[in-house]
Structure 1
Amino acid sequence: MEPHERIQAACEFLLQSPPGEINDVLNDVRNIISDDELLQEGIAPALKKYNLAQFITVDVPETNHQSIISEAARLSVDSEEGQTQERWLDPRSMKTFVFDHMALEASDPQPFEPNEEFEPFRTALQKASLNYLLGHFYDGVSSTFASQTTPNQYILQIVANKYNPTNFWSGRWRSEYIIDLNDHSVKGSILVNVHYYEQGNVQLSTTHSISIMLPPAIVTASPESAGTKILALIETEEGSYQKSLNDTYHEMSEKTFKSLRRALPMTRSKLDWDKVLGYKLGAELSSSKGTFATGFT
C-alpha cells in the first residue's frame, strides 16, 4: 500500500474514533504509517474535522472554564500583517484564542467585541443553559453564540463526556440548537455515542432531530424570561429522548437479545454437562484405543 493510501486509511480510522479514545486510535495507526512526520502532516485535516464534529472542549486561557470547538466558534481574523488567521471564540468570556488541534490546547487569548444589539438575549440564553447544565449534566460544557450571518439567530451547543476506561466504556452527549427569533423556532439535534469494549466491541451512535415553535409570549418576553422558558422547552425534549433511550435499552435486554438465542436446545431439555463431559472423555478413550490397536497390528 502506498504512503498516501495508508494516510487515507488512518484518517478514516480517526474520524470513527469513539469518545475519548482518539489517542488510542492514533497510537495504533502510528504503527501502520511508521513515519511520524508524514503522519502528523497527513492527518491534520482529519483531526480538525473530528474535533469540530465532536464538540471537543478546551480550557480557555485566563479563565476557569472550558469552551466548545465547533463551526459556530470559528472566526477568521485579519492580522496586523494583513494575513487571515483562524481563531476560536469563547462567548462566555468574550475572548478569542488560537487552538492546536493536535495538542488540544488554546493559546494567545485576545478580547472580542460582540454586537451589543444581540448581546442581552445571548447572555440570557447563556445563563439559562449554564443553570440547565448544573441540573442535568455531569461535567457538561455549553457555548451560546449570536449568529455571525443572521440577525436575531442564536446557536446553543451542549456537550458532556464520560470516560471510564477501567470498566471499558466511554460516552458523549452532544446537542445543538438554532434559536431563530425571526421565524419563532428552535431547531436542533441530539447526538449520543457510547462505546462498550469489555471482551468485545459494541457501539451506539444515534441522532435525534428536534423542532419547536415558540409561542409569541416567549418571543416578546424579556431576554431573561425568554431564555429560561426556551431552556425549559429544550429540557422537556431532551428528557423525553433520554426516557425513550432508556425504554429501548430495557426492551433490547428483555426481548431483542433474548430472542437471538434459544432458551433450550432443540431437544427442549437442559443439557447435563456432567454427562457431556463423560461422553467426550469416552470418545477420546475410544479414539486412543483405536490408535494403539493400529500401531501394534
Structure 2
Amino acid sequence: MSKAAALSSFVQSTPPGELADVTKAIKSILGNDSVQNELEPAFQTYNEEQFSTTKLPGSSNEVLVSPYNSLGDGVYYDVESQSSFKFDHATQKASNVQTYALESNHSDVVKSLVKSLGTHATEHYPKSSIGVYPVEDDSQLAIITVASKYSPSNFWNGRWRSQYIYTPSSGSMTGAIKVDVHYYEDGNVRLLTNKEVSLSVGSAAKAPEIIRKIADVERKYQEDLNKAFGSLSEGAFKSLRRQLPITRQKIEWEKISGYRLGQDIGGGRTR
C-alpha cells in the first residue's frame, strides 16, 4: 500500500468530530505539515460521505456538505438559504457565499419536503441539519438528515446519518440509516451500523406523508438499537465479567474500608 493510500485510509476511518485530531496526529507522526495537500482528495471523500456540516459566514445555522448538493470544484449549495458556498475540506470552513436559485421541475416538492423534514428533525434530534436535493437528472430527490453530538471532555462523539432517494414518478424510496459512535476513555470502543431501507409512499404522496414514513422507519430502528443494547448488557457483556471474586463470595461493600487488598479480598492468610 502506498503512503497516500495508507494515509487516506486513516482519514476515511476517522470517527465523527475527530478529523482535526487525526490530521494533527498524521502531521506529527510524519513530521511534515505539507502532507495536508496530499490528503485533500481523502478529506473531500470523507466530508461528503459523512454529511459534514458547516456554518455559513454570518449565520448560526449549519448546512450540509454531500455529493448530492455539490456543484463541483469544492462548491456546494443550500436550498433553505438559497445560497452556494465554497468549502475547505481540510479546515471544514465555508466561504464565498453567493445567491443560488434552485432550478428543478420538483422545486415545490423540494421546498415542502424541506419544511416537513425540518420539523421532524427538530422534534427528534437535538442538533441536526437537513437537506433535500434533486439528483439523477432531476428524476429523483435525495432526502438527508444528519445529527451529530460531540462530547470530547467525556471522551465520546457520535453521529446519526439517514439518506433516502425518493422517486416521485413511482413513489418508491430507498436509503440507509447509519449510526457511528466512538467512546475512548481508557479504551477504544466504536459502534458502526448500517440499516438498509426500502419502502413505497405512493406517487401522489404529499411531503408530510413522506416524512411520516421516514419518521416511522427511524423510530423503529432506534427502538431496535435500544433492544440490541439491552441484550448485549444482559448477554455478551455480562459473560465477560467475573460474577464473583476469586474467593467465590460477594464483597460486603459496607466493610470495604476494612479489607486488606491481596489478603482478605484475595483469600490470603493474615498475620
The alignment's TM-score, normalised by the length of structure 1, stands at 0.81
Shift of 1:148: 5.1
Structure whose alpha-carbon radius of gyration is higher = 1
Match 1:55 to one of 46, 51, 55: 51
| Residues 52, 69 of structure 1: 8 Å contact kept | yes
Structure 2, unmatched stretches of 5+, are: 252-258
Aligned-partner residue type, residue 34 of structure 1:
G
| Residues 105, 138 of structure 2: 8 Å contact kept | no
Shift of 1:220: 2.5
1:176 aligns with 2:156: no
Matches within 5 A, 1:4-43: 5-37=2-34, 39-43=35-39
Match of 1:98 in 2: 86
Shift of 1:60: 2.4
- Counterpart-to-counterpart distance in 1, 2:74 and 2:185: 40
1:274 aligns with 2:263: yes
Shift of 1:150: 3.6
Aligned-partner residue type, residue 107 of structure 1:
S
Query: C-alpha offsets along residues 115-165 of structure 1, whole Å, 9 cap, x if unaligned?
Result: 2531111100000011011100111000111225142x2111111110111
Indicate the SS of the match to 1:36: coil
Match of 1:73 in 2: 69
Structure 1, unmatched stretches of 5+, are: 77-84, 283-297
Match of 1:79 in 2: none
Aligned-partner residue type, residue 186 of structure 2:
Q
Match of 2:219 in 1: 239
| Residues 88, 97 of structure 1: 8 Å contact kept | yes
| Residues 128, 231 of structure 1: 8 Å contact kept | yes
Instruction: Mark the CA change 1:197 to 1:170 in structure 2 (over 3 Å): closer, same or farther.
Output: same
Shift of 1:90: 0.9
Match 1:185 to one of 149, 166, 172: 172
Aligned-partner residue type, residue 174 of structure 1:
R
- Counterpart-to-counterpart distance in 2, 1:10 and 1:209: 29
| Residues 60, 90 of structure 1: 8 Å contact kept | no
Q: Identity of paired residues, percent?
A: 33
Match of 1:45 in 2: 41
Shift of 1:203: 0.3
Select between 154-163 and 92-101 the one with higher mean Cα deviation: 92-101
